[in-house]
Amino acid sequence: MSNPLAALREITDLLAGKIGLDYSTIGIKSIELAVNRKMNTLGIESIHRFATLLGSDEAEFQAFVESIVVPETWFFRDVEPFNFLKEEVIGRFMNPAPRPLRILSIPSSTGEEPYSVAISLLDINFPPEITQIDAVDISEKALKKGKAALFGKSSFRGEDAGMLEKYFTREGESFRLNERARKMVSFQKGNLCESGFLNGKQPYDIVFCRNLVIYLDKQARETAVANIKRLLKKGGYLFSGHTEVMFFAGSGFSAISRPKTFVLLNEEPVPRVSSAVKSAAPGFKNNIPERNFVRPSSAVKQKVAGRISDAGIPPGNGFDIEYIKSLADGGDYPSARKKCEELIFREPANRELLCLMGVIDHATGLIDEAENNFLKVLYLEPNHEEALVHISLLYDEKGDSSRSKIYRERLKRITDRKNR
């Protein structure tokens, strides 16, 4: 290996393979900084040697993971999910009499989330002796801190003083959670992206999995969802991050319509496609700006120039993007894709490049890859009109009218606002 970029790619591939991390979600610069810091600490001058070390030494790989997985959490983050939790527990698990409750928090990070769950249950006098809260994380450092249950001021953002006084004891500049709440939570190491995750465990009534799947690559996301489906009881609650609700809603879960709760049920959503919707769909298409859309057929190979060039990609990278388009226009998809991939590796959050990659992938029949790229664009910029157009049409092509409808409606709201 002679190319430092190749060694860096080997490291990102290792992260994807072992923990499912999609490097583009945190940025290649963050990976580079972590690599440089770790190499300096170890006194290693060659990135090739460091890449080899990570692949062969599990302890060093774990230490590297700890350096890039920086927890950002606090007690009662988003608030409303915990209010909803209390209401549903009262309604479903306390009437007519309390019954055992099993809850999973993954990733549990340094413990603020699972302990928030414990405090919520104590607030409504749910019996702790019939409560099991399993807190799971990939970071040994985070788990150790969670078990200690000693928190600094940054873990408390907007909570009332009554909660601190009731459940915590001050120790210098920190606060220690009381023993009653601590005993409700059990910490353990685990990786949701492994197929055998928590094998043998009884299913849970509630799963908190917030702000994780957005950082995973496609394969890891699929494994994570399969594990959650397996571990969550039918009709059980899944609390997700606000940007993840739509993803889970398209993966066999049914979103609950309540503002700011970001909660779903483990059940297939009720089909919403009716004759009225079908008849309305063609009319709605008239509200979408006219685009040449790339489809994987022989016609694409015969006439690509207009479609790739009209994909709505502004020249954010100047010559590079124009060069990629010219390659695609000439039918050289492999070279266009390779060049686009190289640029994305350097600029993983570049929405124009990701959208262009999606268009190229769709043109060559790489439907899953195209979908993934368009979803990345929409994660970075939820109102990216070109990505909304492409992904809604892609889902039409796949026969997934319910997902297509979601994105069409979002696009319609954007265009309606512009026309006011």
Q: Which CA distances in Å does 262 have to 71, 78, 117, 241, 253? A: 20, 10, 15, 6, 12
Range with lowest mean pLDDT among 53-67, 266-280, 339-353, 400-414: 266-280
pLDDT score of 71: 73
Model confidence at 181, pLDDT cuts 50, 70, 90, reads very high
Cα separation of 253 and 194, whole Å? 21
As given in the structure block, the two tokens for residue 306 are 């207009």
Q: What is the average pLDDT across 71-79? A: 88
Model confidence at 12, pLDDT cuts 50, 70, 90, reads very high
The single-letter DSSP state of residue 287 is T
Q: What is the average pLDDT across 52-56? A: 96
What lies within 8 Å, CB to CB, of 308 at 6+ separation is: 294, 325, 328, 329, 359, 360, 363
pLDDT surpasses 80 at 3: no
pLDDT score of 308: 40
Model confidence at 420, pLDDT cuts 50, 70, 90, reads low
Model confidence at 211, pLDDT cuts 50, 70, 90, reads confident
Q: What is the average pLDDT across 161-190? A: 95
Range with lowest mean pLDDT among 263-267, 364-368, 371-375, 415-419: 415-419
Model confidence at 399, pLDDT cuts 50, 70, 90, reads confident
pLDDT score of 290: 34
pLDDT score of 305: 35
- pLDDT above 90 coverage of the chain, percent: 50
pLDDT score of 410: 85
Identify residue 328 by its one-letter amino acid code.
A
Domains, the chain, in order of start with CATH, read 4-68 (no CATH), 79-266 (3.40.50.150), 321-419 (1.25.40.10)
pLDDT score of 2: 57
Q: What is the average pLDDT across 322-351? A: 83
pLDDT score of 193: 95
Of the candidates 368, 387, 362, the one whose C-alpha atom is nearest the C-alpha of residue 376 is 387
pLDDT score of 397: 80
pLDDT surpasses 50 at 89: yes
281-319, pLDDT tens digit by residue?
333 333 333 333 333 333 333 333 333 444 433 334 445
Angle, vertex CA 52, rays to CA 49 and CA 54, nearest 5: 110
pLDDT score of 191: 97
**Secondary structure (3-state) at 383:** coil
pLDDT surpasses 50 at 243: yes
pLDDT surpasses 70 at 406: yes
**Secondary structure (3-state) at 234:** strand
Of the candidates 281, 294, 265, the one whose C-alpha atom is nearest the C-alpha of residue 365 is 294
User: If you average pLDDT over every residue of the chain, what do you get?
Assistant: 84
C-beta atoms surrounding 190 within 10 Å = 21
pLDDT surpasses 70 at 8: yes
Model confidence at 419, pLDDT cuts 50, 70, 90, reads low
Find the DSSP H helices in 364-400. Answer: 367-380, 385-398
245-290, pLDDT tens digit by residue?
877 887 889 888 888 898 999 986 544 333 333 333 333 333 333 3
Of the candidates 307, 312, 302, 337, the one whose C-alpha atom is nearest the C-alpha of residue 323 is 337
215-237, pLDDT tens digit by residue?
888 899 999 999 999 999 999 99
112-149, pLDDT tens digit by residue?
999 999 999 999 999 999 999 999 999 999 999 999 99
Burial 100-128 (b: 16+ CB within 10 A, else e): ebbbbbbbbbbbbbbbbbbbbbbeeebeb
DSSP helix, strand, coil percent of the chain (3-state; round to 5)? 55, 10, 35
Cα separation of 98 and 82, whole Å? 19
Higher pLDDT, 159 or 41: 41
pLDDT score of 245: 80
Cα separation of 79 and 242, whole Å? 13
